């Protein structure tokens, strides 16, 4: 291939990646309101930090909130500030700007994979980038205002840089490793260097080469890590003496070793979560792992730990370490194992590339399993609106339409894969299912998700009754709804259960059927029914002075 055709190929592939990542990561960022407790809470912290011009101490409701390091907050603050500069009509804080850091980080992750593979695994770069970009976990957390994608992106870039150094021995790659490991420490704390250290040590032990560890411990790289990561930790500790106890002892060590934050799950919890996170490539991941196990069984460990190429071994260790590490934690949340998903995607890429190179046709069994999985993915996306609204899958005209579309995609995918060109069509056929699924969720399910899961409609209803920022109290409302209401109204809400009842006239957001109970909390004051929000089983009352 000459230089001009090579440049044309790069431009074509980059344009393709921009188009796909633009759709998969950036489309529909504001289609539904912020969800759960973390999204509105993190978005509000970034807003308050920006309003205070404080880049050191995370604050929520004017109080230090020291659970997480600042990388997401910094990114969101930049997005808010840019929106304020270019869109002066608003304050720049909305769902799009709050979720933009995750989308940008996901795009950087894909770019890093593409250029790494182009340099060290030429011919697989486009496959690797698109397979990773189309994983359900990557798409989902690219649309989240959370710390998980910043950690996954920085951690992935760090490990790719480390392996680039391992193969090339270029110190610049090792410097990048330490730089992004420091950014990972600013994204979610010491978990980034701890996981990286475990992966490198196990890799070196598998290779029976201790010099890998000794050479990795490069003094300029360690100094770079400290220069990037340490200043914020020192500054926040100096301003907040309780930081070390609260962040390190409670939100890292205690969160890992105890169930103090009430996220208990069985030991095997992350196995199904991980398999769901790598959809729609789960079948190929299982096939890749099974083949590697058979290879080690028949040829010995040296089959993976060869001196010339240990890429597969590195990916297996990278994939398994986060899953096992967090499986030992007493506190488990799905986003914890996101750093393992890129390794799984690259393992799938390597497996598919090897089959294409050997011209191995896809069996009917593999084709059928992958086709069914793609069909189920589409069916789930098309049914998401009904599930969000009713919390179960009901039979009806739309469910039959969704089933028909899913069957067509499953059969088309299966048929394409069993042809002679099947190994080359896996990526294209799968991307069709992914695009249809993402479009279906954003187009059809987003309104139902917004109505049932987000505090945005609650806040809009409150504003409809009063344009002035009246006090808001909560009664039998969980913390997920509380954080959402506080973000959308940009002010704290008071809990009636704590007898912290506003003396001024105010709105009460309460569970359905609790008007008489609210009246008992404010004897002598008039309680008027305003409206209900049936989708969230809430009612709004007006309490006079």
Q: What is the mean pLDDT of residues 221-240?
A: 95
* pLDDT bracket for residue 185 (50, 70, 90): very high
Q: CB of 112 within 8 A of CB of 155?
A: no
For residue 322, the 8-state DSSP code is H
The encoded tokens of residue 106 equal: 């996901």
* Contact predicate 526/541, CB 8 Å: no
Among candidate residues 381, 361, 367, 360, the one with its CA nearest the CA of residue 411: 367
DSSP string computed for 190-258: THHHHHHHHHHHHHHHHHT-THHHHHH--HHHHHHHHHHHHHHHHHHHHH-TTHIIIIIIIIIIIHHHS
Q: Directed axis angle between helix 341-357 and helix 148-168, to 10°?
A: 50
Predicted local confidence at residue 302, as pLDDT: 66
Among 392, 425, 453, residue at a domain's last position: 453
Which of 55-59, 170-174, 250-254, 467-471 is predicted least confidently?
250-254
**What are the percentages of helix, strand and coil residues in the chain, rounded to 5?**
70, 5, 25
* Res. 70: pLDDT tops 70: yes
Cα–Cα distance measured from residue 374 to residue 313, given in angstroms and rounded to the nearest whole number? 28
Same domain, 466 and 396: no
Q: What pairs with residue 382 in β-bridges?
A: none
Q: Hey, what's the torsion of the CAs at 368, 372, 374, 380, to 10 degrees?
A: 180
* pLDDT tens figures, 377-398: 999 999 888 887 777 777 777 7
SS3 of 249-276: HHHHHHHHHCCCCCCCCCHHHHHHHHHH
Q: CA 426, CA 441: separation in Å to the nearest integer?
A: 23
Final residue in a domain of this structure, among 416, 438, 453 = 453
Average pLDDT over residues 186-203: 94
Give the pTM. Answer: 0.93
User: 362: phi > 0 → left, psi -120 to 50 → alpha, else beta; which?
Assistant: beta
Kindly state whether residues 402 and 430 are assigned to the same domain. yes
Are 445 and 339 in the same domain? no
β-bridge partners, 539: 510, 532
The per-residue pLDDT for range 134-168, each reduced to its tens digit, is 999 999 999 999 999 999 999 999 999 999 999 99
Which residue's entry shows tokens 């290779």? 207
The model's confidence at residue 262, banded by pLDDT at 50, 70 and 90, is very low
Distance CA 405, CA 265 (A): 35
N- to C-terminal Cα distance for the chain? 80
The DSSP output letter for 541 is: E
Radius of gyration of the chain (CA): 25
Closest to 57 (Cα-Cα) out of 239, 191, 253: 239
Report in angstroms the alpha-carbon separations of 407 from 220, 275, 381.
Answer: 57, 22, 14
Q: Which residues contact 279 (CB under 8 A, 6 or more apart)?
A: 135, 136, 373, 377
Tokens at 536, concatenated: 């969230």
Whether residue 61 sits in one domain with residue 196:
yes
| Mean predicted confidence (pLDDT) in 358-362 | 87
Instruction: Write out the residue range of the structural domain in which residue 510 sits.
Output: 456-543
Report whether 465 contacts 23 (CB < 8 A). Answer: no
Asked if residue 265 has pLDDT above 70, the reply is no
Rounded to the nearest 10 degrees, the angle between the axes of helix 148-168 and helix 71-86 is 110
pLDDT score at 264: 61
**CA angle, residues 245, 478, 256, in degrees to nearest 5:** 35
How does pLDDT run across 108-133, given as a tens digit for each residue? Answer: 999 999 999 999 998 899 999 999 99
From 299, 329, 357, the end of a domain falls on 357
- If asked whether residues 221 and 309 sit together in one domain, one would say yes
Q: How far apart are CA 382 and CA 401, in angstroms?
A: 9
Provide φ and ψ at 421, rounded to 5°: -85, 5
Q: Are residues 334 and 411 in the same domain?
A: no
- Whether residues 161 and 59 fall in one domain: yes
Q: What is the mean pLDDT of residues 181-185?
A: 97
Phi, then psi, of 35 in degrees rounded to 5 = -115, 160
Reported as a single tens digit per residue, the pLDDT across 413-441 is 999 998 888 888 899 999 999 999 999 99
Give per-residue pLDDT as tens, 271-329.
999 999 999 999 999 999 998 888 877 776 666 766 667 899 999 999 999 999 888 87
Residue 171 in contact with residue 59, Cβ under 8 Å? no
Number of domains forming the structure of the chain: 3
Angle at 53 between CA 58 and CA 233, to 5 degrees: 40
**Same structural domain, 519 and 427:** no
> Based on the domain organization, do 373 and 520 belong to the same domain?
no
Shared-domain flag, residues 31 and 158: yes
Per-residue pLDDT for 243 more than 90?
no
Residue 228 in this model has a pLDDT that exceeds 80:
yes
Question: How many whole angstroms from its chain centre is CA 385?
Answer: 21
Residue of higher predicted confidence among 245 and 149: 149
User: Would you call 468 helix, strand, or coil by DSSP?
Assistant: coil
405 shares a domain with 368: yes
Decide which of 7 and 96 is more confident. 96
- State yes or no: pLDDT of 172 exceeds 50: yes
H-type alpha helices, 31-147: 38-52, 71-86, 95-120, 125-133, 136-142
Query: Which residues have a Cβ under 8 Å from the Cβ of 178 and sit 6 or more positions away?
Result: 158, 218, 221, 222, 224, 225
Higher-pLDDT residue of 355, 105:
105
Largest Cα separation within the chain, whole Å, is 86
DSSP for 134-194, written as a single string:
TSHHHHHHHTSSSSHHHHHHHHHHHHHHHHHHHHH--HHHHHHHHHHHHHHHHHHSTHHHH
For the record, the structure tokens of 476 come out as 């039998």
382 with 468, same domain: the answer is: no
CA 504 to chain centroid, in Å, comes to 41
Lowest-confidence region among 1-10, 291-300, 452-461: 1-10
pLDDT tops 60 at residue 249: yes
Residue tagged 């993976």 (tokens): 304
Q: What is the pLDDT of residue 298?
A: 76
Cα–Cα dist 190/10, whole Å: 37
Is pLDDT above 90 for 57? yes
């Amino acid at each position: 291939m000459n230089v001009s055709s090579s440049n044309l190929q790069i431009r074509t592939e980059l344009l393709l990646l921009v188009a796909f990542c633009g759709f998969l990561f950036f489309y529909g960022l504001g289609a539904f309101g912020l969800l759960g407790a973390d999204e509105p809470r993190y978005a509000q912290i970034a807003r308050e930090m920006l309003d205070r011009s404080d880049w050191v101490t995370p604050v929520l409701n004017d109080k230090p909130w020291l659970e997480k390091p600042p990388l997401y907050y910094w990114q969101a603050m930049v997005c808010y500030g840019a929106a304020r500069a270019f869109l002066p009509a608003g304050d720049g804080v909305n769902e799009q700007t709050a979720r933009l850091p995750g989308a940008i980080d996901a795009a950087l992750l894909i770019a890093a994979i593409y250029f790494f593979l182009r340099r060290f695994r030429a011919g697989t770069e486009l496959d690797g980038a698109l397979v990773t970009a189309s994983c359900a976990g990557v798409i989902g957390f690219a649309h989240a205002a959370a710390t998980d994608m910043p950690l996954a992106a920085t951690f992935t870039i760090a490990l790719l840089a480390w392996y680039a150094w391992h193969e090339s021995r270029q110190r610049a790659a090792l410097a990048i490793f330490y730089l992004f490991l420091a950014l990972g420490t600013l994204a979610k704390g010491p978990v980034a260097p701890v996981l990286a250290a475990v992966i490198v040590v196990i890799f070196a032990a598998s290779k029976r080469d201790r010099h890998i560890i000794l050479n990795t411990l490069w003094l300029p790289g360690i100094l770079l890590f400290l220069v990037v990561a340490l200043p914020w930790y020192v500054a926040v500790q100096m301003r907040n003496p309780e930081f070390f106890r609260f962040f390190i002892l409670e939100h890292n060590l205690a969160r890992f070793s105890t169930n103090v934050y009430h996220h208990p799950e069985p030991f095997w919890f992350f196995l199904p979560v991980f398999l769901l996170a790598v959809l729609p490539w789960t079948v190929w991941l299982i096939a890749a792992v099974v083949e590697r196990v058979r290879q080690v069984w028949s040829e010995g460990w040296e089959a993976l730990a060869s001196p010339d190429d240990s890429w597969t071994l590195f990916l297996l260790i990278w994939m398994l370490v986060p899953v096992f590490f967090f499986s030992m934690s007493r506190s488990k949340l799905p986003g914890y194992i996101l750093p393992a998903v890129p390794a799984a995607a690259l393992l799938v890429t390597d497996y598919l590339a090897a089959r294409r190179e050997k011209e191995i046709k896809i069996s009917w069994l593999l084709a059928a399993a992958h086709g069914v999985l793609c069909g189920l993915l589409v069916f789930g996306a098309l049914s998401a609106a009904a599930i969000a609204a009713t919390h179960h899958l009901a039979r009806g005209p739309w469910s039959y339409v969704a089933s028909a579309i899913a069957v067509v995609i499953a059969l088309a995918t299966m048929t394409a894969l069993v042809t002679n060109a099947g190994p080359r069509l896996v990526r294209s056929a799968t991307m069709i299912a992914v695009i249809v699924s993402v479009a279906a969720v954003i187009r059809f399910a987003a309104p139902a998700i917004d109505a049932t899961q987000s505090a945005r409609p609650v806040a809009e209803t409150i504003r409809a009754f009063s344009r002035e920022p009246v006090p808001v109290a909560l009664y039998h409302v969980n913390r997920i709804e509380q954080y959402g209401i506080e973000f959308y109204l940009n002010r704290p809400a008071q809990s009636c259960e704590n007898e912290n009842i506003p003396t001024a006239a105010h709105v009460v957001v309460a569970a359905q059927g609790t008007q008489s109970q609210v009246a008992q909390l404010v004897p002598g004051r008039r309680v008027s029914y305003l409206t209900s929000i049936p989708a969230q089983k809430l009612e709004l009352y007006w309490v006079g002075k």
